[in-house]
Structure 1
Amino acid sequence: MSYFDGFVIAVPTAGKQQFIDHATAIDPIFKELGAIRVVECWGDDVPDGKVTDFRRSVQAKEDETVAFSFVEWPDKTTRDAGMKRLSEMMKTDERMDPEKNPVPFDGKRMIFGGFAAVVDI
């Protein structure tokens, strides 16, 4: 069954196109590493919760929009190998150079994790 990496970030709302441009440049790398697909989602209906919510999870400011992204892998073994290669590429691949393709969000506030699918209907 597929394996997923999920990401939630706060992106400056005025930087939506920069976010799209960055994703368009970076996301194909995940496909090169074996991912089945990469999906980038821009917050459209992200309500404030009573106890917690997406905005609080990433300390989103008033001028930021919450984005949710996921990478689907065929399995965890492929994901682990891909992420290992990605870590190595971050040192050598110019597409990963933040000077050439700046990250349009504060990575310190990103939440992420790997998830094993348990139901797929």
Structure 2
Amino acid sequence: MKKVYCAKDPLMIGHLRNVLATFGIACLTKNLDLSSAAGELPPIDCWPELWVDDDQVARAKSILKKTMAPLQSVKKPWTCGGCGEEIEGQFSECWSCGRGRSRGRARRGVVVSLSEFLRNR
């Protein structure tokens, strides 16, 4: 087994463990209850860790890298073609009328699986 991730926040470790489990990668978490020993032990040695089997390390690191990467850079503001409202660049739909940035209509109710989302990034 090899360590693939370490963080101060146990919630992040739990989230990433669930992401890897979604892809069928078994994980072991260490040090989840060790935070109370910080001070007696070096604090970084008490941080929770995420471990996977040796043969899954490369795949796990790739998935974690995609998961932790920013979705996209912030784009410039745009003006809605439907109502003329100025919209901040990170939004793809008008908050006022629902019209999409490059489409005539907003896409509503689109559900994408986690694996499809990561595959298309």
TM-score range, shorter chain: 0.3 to 0.5
**What TM-score, normalized by structure 1, do the two folds share?**
0.38
Q: Larger strand proportion, structure 1 or 2?
A: 1
**What TM-score, normalized by structure 2, do the two folds share?**
0.38
Larger radius of gyration: 2
Q: Larger helix proportion, structure 1 or 2?
A: 1
